[in-house]
Structure 1
Amino acid sequence: MDIEGYARRMLEKMSEDRVKELLAERIAEIKNWDMDRAKRWAEAVIVEVKNAYGKSNYLLDYYKSGVTMGRFGVGSRGRGDFYVHEKIAEVIGSSGAVVSSKDLDDAGVVKFGDLYISVAIDGIHSRLSEFPFIAGFHVTRAAMRDVYVMGAEPVAVFSDIHIADDGDVSKIFDHIAGISAVCEATEVPLVSGSTLRIGGDMVIGERMTGGVGCVGVSRYITPRKNVESGDVILLTEGAGGGTVATTAIYYGMHDVVDETINLDFIRAVRAVFSQNLVKRIHSMSDVTNGGIRGDAEEIAKVSGKSLVFDFDELRKCVNPRVLSMLEELEIDFLGVSIDSLMIVCDEETAEDVIKAVKGAGVNIRKVGWVEESGDGPRAYLIEGGERREIKPRFRESAYTPLKKVVGEEEPPDFGDMKRRVDEAVKKAIEKKLKVLERLARA
């Protein structure tokens, strides 16, 4: 519970004495304290809130769009989330990076001498807070994947762990064990990190969050924008990561979690590296951001090409036990992260890639092709002999009971919310420019 936020909101609605009473009740309930101690805590919180938010300063204030993260779908790997990421690129502006946020890749790239340096960071799955080892394992593998698909060899991993005030310290160690399990298995060292409480004293409860980053080096890069007309699309079999594990956990199908604990993706991409095929590959991706629906649209957008997929072949690229679970729960596998390796290259290279990956013991299939976009860059699916366009939904496929309640449909006021988000972007850029002017005068 964010007691600072609670106090701030409640002080706008009622008297300070009433807020103190309610806040003390919440603190006593969550921390299992006596009321006297909880009241002292509540009094101190109110003092800090009044001091912090009773004044105005252009550096401390920010434009309030009135659009919440949840309602706009931020983090839900759908249209709202993708829109915000495009706007983040606008705020960053021209960074001088070889590959940056505007390219819609998960890793950014800068050049240092003759080498490309790829950097990626992934946040742990929000629903894996009480499962720290799994959270650490999957977020580490995800960060490595983002670097690998840029054509780079990971050389270092770093982590950031935040646990709320009442969280058990042992979560740190279990989480680090999950991270280091991947690091040791792949011989990529975990070199640094940060461990903090979420919100310090102001957030009570046991929630854990954080992220893992990865740095890699290469002489070639394989960004999404490099796909070419006539290319073949290859896909390895995926068993999912944090998303599939979350589905299995919250539907009580815990045995399926075991399927997600593998290094198939890394074995496949390392086989490609070992055969010196990277320089012949145009683009690589990991199927994560809202599944095929999300990744295909992003690739089409940045490349200006259209991608065509065969439904039956895509279906064969999902681990059988995972696919069985998804279909039993009526979860669209095209809209969830299955963590497959997608390689886009010419026909001749495709044959060599297939041979290398299968030689590493990983299943891989041709699932589609790239073509010129006569009516604009799009993604298509061929199913039952019919060709239709596929697009990401407002949110990724609902993969937990609560997500099914929240739904996947676009809010009727999405257009209005986008306009307010645009205004927030404008105000953020204005503040950045104002500070840059001040720094230039210093």
Structure 2
Amino acid sequence: MSLRTGKLPPSVLKKMLKHTGARDPRVILGPKLGEDAALVKFGGQTLVLKTDPVTYASDMIGWYAVHVNANDVATRGAKPCWFQATILLPDGSDERLVEDIFKQISSAAKELGVAVTGGHTEVTPGIDHPIVVGDMHGVLIGRKPILTSGAKVGDSIVLTKGAGIEGTALIARERRAELVDVLGKKTVDRASRFLTDPGLSIAREALLALEYHVHAMHDPTEGGVAMGVNELAEASGKSVELWIDEVPVKDETRKICAHYGIDPLGLLGSGALLATFSKDDATGFVRALKRRKIDAAIIGKVVRGKTRSVAIRDGVSMPLSSSERDEVLKLF
């Protein structure tokens, strides 16, 4: 089977996840489709472990690497604590580029109270832009971890901030000159700032969700909100409804996606948190976020039935389509 750029197809990944090395009773949660991070008992604590690369961006790549890994740790109900990175540089890179990446990593880590504990840096043949592979470790805050598989029948599904936050920022920064001509400088400037406003970090929202008895949390990344909802259904073994008309999509995202003919629901989704709660707790969580000036909406529910995802638009139901191949790859 020839593989395309993007995530491995779930059917392939499921087969690969049979190969997990030695058994260790301290591993509470190992590799599993749709789960964002591993859980390991160590002494009297539960460690949360995550690794994720940044391969699309050329701008602010070190900053991305810290936040996308911290997000996955936060979805377990944990505090990100320690970060390491492998930095792969193309032949001909200069010292200034290396220093920029190191400074980005340090700055992002300081924002989150995270220590940088090591890593590896090299000039690598066969690549034409830097790649940063991050590794974040954290410590569970409460007694029980939050899993993607924790969604319960009857839960409301909440999405924070909006669809395609990361993808919007990436496209605006990488295709700036073209987009300024089409959409205007003000729109492109605003979209470029999506990295920090509304921001890629979901740590704040994830910690607040614990106060509202959250059942499941997931960080939608490649494949966007659509893939994230499908992964939520797959991990929990439940049927999920996504109310398309309720999904928040910022104006800048709509304009950029319309220009390139791409779907905001399939666009890189870091910056948003998918979470499920009882109906009343979901309402309380959304209100609490809005008091903190963070956008959020109830975008669907978990229902009885076999594992599947259904999209509902204008009252019409249809299967929720998603792709391992993110919409941003149509441009890069």
Structure 1, gaps ≥5 residues long: 1-66, 403-442
Match of 2:157 in 1: 233
TM-superposed CA distance for 1:191, in Å, is 2.2
Match of 1:283 in 2: 216
Structure 2, gaps ≥5 residues long: 180-187
Query: Does residue 311 of the first structure (1) align with residue 216 of the second (2)?
Result: no
* Equivalent in 36, 45, 49 of residue 106 of structure 1: 36
Query: Does residue 159 of the first structure (1) align with residue 85 of the second (2)?
Result: yes
Query: Does residue 366 of the first structure (1) align with residue 310 of the second (2)?
Result: no
Distance 2:204 2:76 in 1: 13
Judge conservation of contact 1:271–1:356 (CA < 8 Å) in 2: no
* Equivalent in 139, 156, 178 of residue 217 of structure 1: 139
Judge conservation of contact 1:226–1:282 (CA < 8 Å) in 2: yes
* Equivalent in 273, 278, 281 of residue 349 of structure 1: 281
CA deviation vs aligned residue, 1:43-65 (integer Å, no higher than 9, x gap): xxxxxxxxxxxxxxxxxxxxxxx
Distance 1:380 1:188 in 2: 39
* Matched position secondary structure for 2:321: coil
Alignment of 1:115-130 (within 5 A): 115-126=45-56, 128-129=57-58
Match for 2:196: what amino acid? I
* Matched position secondary structure for 2:145: coil
TM (normalized to structure 1)?
0.66
Match for 2:147: what amino acid? P
TM-superposed CA distance for 1:329, in Å, is 1.8
TM-superposed CA distance for 1:395, in Å, is 2.2
Q: Looking at secondary structure, tell me which structure has more strand per residue.
A: 2
CA deviation vs aligned residue, 1:354-386 (integer Å, no higher than 9, x gap): 23322322011111100111xx21111110110
TM-superposed CA distance for 1:81, in Å, is 3.6
C-alpha distance 119-272 of structure 1, shift in aligned 2 (>3 A): closer
Q: Looking at secondary structure, tell me which structure has more helix per residue.
A: 1
Identity of aligned residues (%): 22
Aligned length: 316
Match of 2:69 in 1: 143
TM-superposed CA distance for 1:336, in Å, is 1.4
Judge conservation of contact 2:222–2:324 (CA < 8 Å) in 1: no
Distance 1:269 1:178 in 2: 18
Distance 2:209 2:73 in 1: 18
Distance 1:210 1:102 in 2: 23
Relative contact order, CA 8 A, sep 6+: which one is greater? Answer: 2
Distance 2:104 2:318 in 1: 41
TM (normalized to structure 2)?
0.86
Distance 1:177 1:243 in 2: 23
| Larger-Rg structure | 1
Judge conservation of contact 1:259–1:322 (CA < 8 Å) in 2: no
Distance 1:395 1:204 in 2: 22
TM-superposed CA distance for 1:319, in Å, is 2.6
Match of 2:182 in 1: none
TM-superposed CA distance for 1:270, in Å, is 2.5
